[in-house]
Amino acid sequence: MIKSPPITTAAAFLANLMSPVTPPSNRIQDYVLGPVIGYGGFSVVHKAHHHLRINHVRAIKVINKYAMSDVDLHRFKRELTIWKSLCHPRIVNLQRILRRTNNNKHEIYLVCDYCPGGTLLQLLNKLTCLPEHHAKRIFKELCQCVHYLHIDRKVCHKDLKLENVLLDENGHVKLCDFGLAIYQRSRENKRGTREPVGGSLAYVAPEQLQVAVPLACPKTDIWSLGVILYALVVGQLPFMDTFDLRLIQKIQDGIFEMPTFLSLPLQQLILSCLEKDPTKRPSIDQLLKYPWLQL
């Protein structure tokens, strides 16, 4: 079973601790909130349905804005700006932003697609690992989504991991959580943002470990894709340790076990994604042309 790696407490990788969100009333405008299906750094995600159409199901993310620091609030505003600009069949669609005042607090609710297939992490916890043909379909869809982000929108996701890849009712990929996403080139990035690096350490590229601010480089996403692909076909993460500093060293060394039962084209693809030198790592365009994805 793959366990969700804890967000690191080492160096700049300080955890965004789960802040309590005051339970909202059951009705939010046209929607009735149902059970909790997920948590974020400053949010709780509910399954919800339209009050007149019970089969009209959505996910609603309830935001605890008041627990956010100035940096967190800046990230949240950027997340909304980026998320609202995205339109792709493999990305969870942000449909509406609802606001209301409750007990003198201004509450924010993000209405988005509901994905009944759960996350890739949940899928692997059921199946352990996937056969290559199944992993290939999922991974190719994820790469097509990342291609849209990198090429069409000039955005780096910065938090690609099993928990952030959802599956819809037909088993197709839906990427979510743009809380750490940044534009590849912007005035903010050129000045050098002072915000800390977030995300799950087990997925972080080695070059990102060497600096204390987020790198607006798409090659960091390629590394994370390699970690996800490895987990899909092997059933565990390539770099694991219970101690953050040892895990950082393992990632920087870039040494991991490659199972011999994987096909050679698949091994080549994983090794390319997990290349320590980002200049030798493929771009998303190059990645989609690898032989394993063409077979």
- Please state the residue numbers annotated as binding site for ATP: 61, 163-164, 177
User: Would you list which residues are annotated within the binding site?
Assistant: 61, 163-164, 177
Give dist(CA 283, CA 276) in Å, integer: 14
DSSP H helices, 16-108, are 70-85
Residue 219's Cβ-side half-sphere holds a number of Cα atoms within 13 Å equal to 15
3-state SS record for 262-293: CCHHHHHHHHHHCCCCCCCCCCHHHHCCCHHH
Give dist(CA 11, CA 32) in Å, integer: 41
For residue 95, give the DSSP letter: E
Judge whether 159 counts as a catalytic residue: yes
For residue 193, give the DSSP letter: -
Catalytic residue among 70, 113, 159, 244: 159
Catalytic residues: 159
